[in-house]
């Protein structure tokens, strides 16, 4: 529901740029305010649901302890990947559509790429990956290492997204919060 409202909000904001009639501008502004109220209500209710369930509250706290993962991303992971924490690392990455898939036929081998999986999870992890590669020391080091090795930036970001989902899976599996690795 929140994703649908965010799309509606984006459409209304884009529409506002082209409106010229005062009545249409007013209606669009009212619609934007209503969408904002509905998004706020959904976020408030989601947080209330998390607080009432101790297991869900612990899972949520583990996810938001990771630098780069916000409450909205944690909600997206909990909703779109309820299996998270019960999977092997490769399974979690594959389910999110972030595991490299090799293209090969006989002796011919093409480039590996990502495909399939849950698009909502990939979309939810893109911005957190950008934040994590700046503020999470472990993932920043990994990103810098990939760039130094000559990987394109988009592939390095995808690798960070994969690392985030694997990290989230491991933390939920072990029932612990994120802690920085010791140097």
- What distances in angstroms separate CA 139 from CA 30, 119, 120, 173, one per listed residue? 42, 22, 22, 20
Predicted model pTM: 0.80
Q: Using one digit for the tens of pLDDT, what is the confidence trace for 19-77?
A: 999 999 999 999 999 999 999 999 999 999 999 999 999 999 999 998 889 999 999 99
pLDDT digits (tens, 9 = 90+) for 92-138: 888 888 877 776 677 766 676 677 778 888 889 999 999 988 888 88
Sequence ranges of the domains in the chain: 1-52, 57-183
CB-based contact 113:101 (threshold 8 Å) = yes
């Amino acid at each position: 529901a929140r994703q649908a409202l965010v799309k509606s909000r984006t459409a209304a904001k884009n529409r506002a740029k082209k409106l010229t009639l005062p009545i249409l501008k007013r209606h669009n502004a009212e619609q934007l305010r209503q969408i904002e109220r509905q998004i706020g209500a959904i976020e408030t209710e989601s947080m209330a649901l998390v607080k009432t369930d101790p297991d869900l509250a612990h899972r949520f706290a583990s996810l938001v302890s990771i630098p780069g993962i916000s409450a909205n991303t944690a909600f997206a992971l909990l909703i779109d990947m309820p299996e998270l924490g019960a999977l092997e690392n490769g399974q979690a990455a594959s389910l999110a559509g972030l595991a490299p898939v090799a293209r090969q036929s006989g002796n011919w081998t093409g480039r590996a790429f990502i495909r399939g999986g849950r698009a909502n999870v990939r979309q939810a992890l893109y911005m957190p990956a950008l934040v994590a590669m700046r503020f999470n020391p472990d993932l920043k080091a990994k990103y810098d290492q990939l760039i130094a090795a000559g990987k394109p930036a988009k592939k390095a970001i995808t690798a960070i997204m994969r690392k985030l989902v694997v990290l989230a899976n491991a933390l939920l599996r072990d029932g612990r919060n994120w802690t920085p690795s010791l140097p």
